[in-house]
Amino acid sequence: MQTLKNDGNLQQKDLESRGREHITLVFSLRDEAFGLDVNYVREIVRVPPFITRVPNSPGYIRGVINLRGSIVPVFDMELKIGMVQKELTDEARIVVVSWNEILFGIIVDSVREVCTIYDAQIESAAQINTSMDRKYILGVAKHEDGRLIVLLDLAVLFEIDSILDEEASGS
């Protein structure tokens, strides 16, 4: 009986040493794993046959889609983070994200999984050697199976705060 109680204490200490848990949606771009907090994910949809282009929009904005009556802007993650755009495959998806009541979609090569990542598994973005701007990265998680998952800061990546500021000032 005493052994069971000690095992419970050890498990509790192990959980505490891991830190806070983050439920993360893991997706791929060019065979690299990226992650974002699942709390911001509203849904995942197939890429429609066509996306309506928006004139004079930045290159990383693919256009807009009609998602059950809501017009949703769609961003190309590859272009936004400095990769070369490639042809979409059948596995490509649009991850529809809701950030401060702003709804937008991001095109990814494929959605891999939803996993739990603990604070103890996350390394600082400053330690990463990448051509991608580090301000877009929250950190890199070392998954239990050895994979590295780049954790993205969507608010910074898509300049959500500046969009909200423009809306608030009426621009």
The one-letter amino acid code at 148 reads: L
User: In this predicted structure, what is the pLDDT of residue 130?
Assistant: 59
Q: Is 2 a domain residue? A: no
69 against 8, higher pLDDT:
69
Q: Is 36 a domain residue? A: yes
Which range, 14-18, 81-85, 104-108, has the best average confidence (pLDDT)? Answer: 104-108
The one-letter amino acid code at 64 reads: V
pLDDT digit string, tens, across residues 23-46: 999 999 988 899 999 999 999 999
User: In this predicted structure, what is the pLDDT of residue 129?
Assistant: 56
Tokens of 155: 């608010």
Q: Is 59 a domain residue? A: yes
Q: Is 114 a domain residue? A: yes
- The residue-averaged pLDDT of 6-33 equals 75
User: In this predicted structure, what is the pLDDT of residue 10?
Assistant: 45
Quote the number of domains for the chain: 1
Tokens of 108: 């990814």
pLDDT surpassing 90 at residue 168: no
**Residue in this structure with the two tokens 């769609």, named with its chain if needed:** 74
Share of the chain above pLDDT 90, in %: 42
Q: Is 8 a domain residue? A: no
pTM comes to 0.79
DSSP result, the chain: -HHHHHHHHHHHHHHHHH-SEEEEEEEEETTEEEEEEGGGEEEEEEPPS--B--TT--TTEEEEEEETTEEEEEEEHHHHTTPPP----TT-EEEEEEETTEEEEEEESEEEEEEEEEGGGEEPGGG---SS-GGGEEEEEE-TTS-EEEEE-HHHHTTHHHHHHHHHHT-
pLDDT surpassing 80 at residue 166: no
Q: Is 150 a domain residue? A: yes
User: In this predicted structure, what is the pLDDT of residue 2?
Assistant: 46
Q: What is the CATH number of the domain that holds 105?
A: 2.40.50.180
Q: Is 51 a domain residue? A: yes
Mean per-residue pLDDT of the chain? 82
19 against 165, higher pLDDT:
19
Q: Is 44 a domain residue? A: yes
Q: CA 74, 48, 28: angle at the middle one, nearest 5?
A: 60
User: In this predicted structure, what is the pLDDT of residue 164?
Assistant: 47
Name the residue range of residue 153's domain: 21-169
pLDDT digit string, tens, across residues 89-142: 999 999 999 988 889 999 999 999 999 999 999 888 766 655 566 777 888 999
